[in-house]
Chain A
């Protein structure tokens, strides 16, 4: 079944908002899953490896991405799966995952501080 186009639109909006620093992502219990808290819902973006995905047509080491919309009761309302590398939403979901990971782990902040330190000659 094809994913809900409105949910895909929400994913695109989240990606833009994350790029602009308007959305916060946080880590979860799963190393490869990040979450954004929205009013009355949570969006999770997860990187999954094929043993978990159990997709027959996937290459062994190639990860896939899943975005899920979860309501406040913990129910998964919608989800989009990237499928294979050439899958329809692969680029969108993989980019959102990378942005979410950097945001949740404050990687850009750390890099900014390190660049400033290196440029100013401090260690």
Chain B
């Protein structure tokens, strides 16, 4: 009886089994596609993180270079080395200018750099005047104070960027 039934409905049963196998295969395919998509997303995320880390590191390096020029300007001014001060002031200004439009920096940090850039623009003609004047005296204490404030602000920003690189 059952054999006869099996013989009679062999095709139907094969279709049902085929359908089940197809469904299992379909589900497995969907699962694999999802897995592949997740892996691709994770890889993209990792790449994004690596790029962000690289950008932050590059920015920290650029800031470090600007900071170094500001420190050198400060040292040259203290030594009354006006040639060196003018050159380093110009260099510092150039380095700061390259940071003005960097969107990795926070708004407040960008403002500090704008202010520092503007200050260096104001310092430069004064230093040129001191260089050209024979027997020129030392620059005022206000200039040293302002340079130290710029050094502090740049150091803080550099520190913040380096910490964010470590946290990534």
Contact = CB atoms under 8 A, between A and B. Distances in A.
B114 A30 contact: no
Given A29-B123, A70-B121, A37 B142 contact: no
Q: Which of B97, B100, B119, B122 has the most CB of A within 10 A?
A: B122
Contacts of B121: 70, 74
Contacts of A70: 118, 121
B109 to A, nearest CB: 13
Interface string A69-91: 01011100000000000000000
Give the interface SS of chain B, mostly helix, strand, loop or mixed.
helix
Contact of A74 (B117, B142, B146): B117
Interface residues of B, number: 15
A37 B115 contact: yes
Contacts of A23: none
A37 B141 CA distance: 25
Contacts of A33: 122
B143 interface: yes
A53 interface: no
A43 to B, nearest CB: 11
Interface string A13-46: 0000000000000101111010101000010100
Given A29-B142, A37-B111, A42-B118, 12 more contacts: A26-B115, A28-B122, A28-B146, A29-B122, A30-B122, A30-B142, A33-B122, A37-B114, A42-B114, A70-B118, A73-B97, A74-B117
B95 interface: no
B93 interface: yes
B56 to A, nearest CB: 23
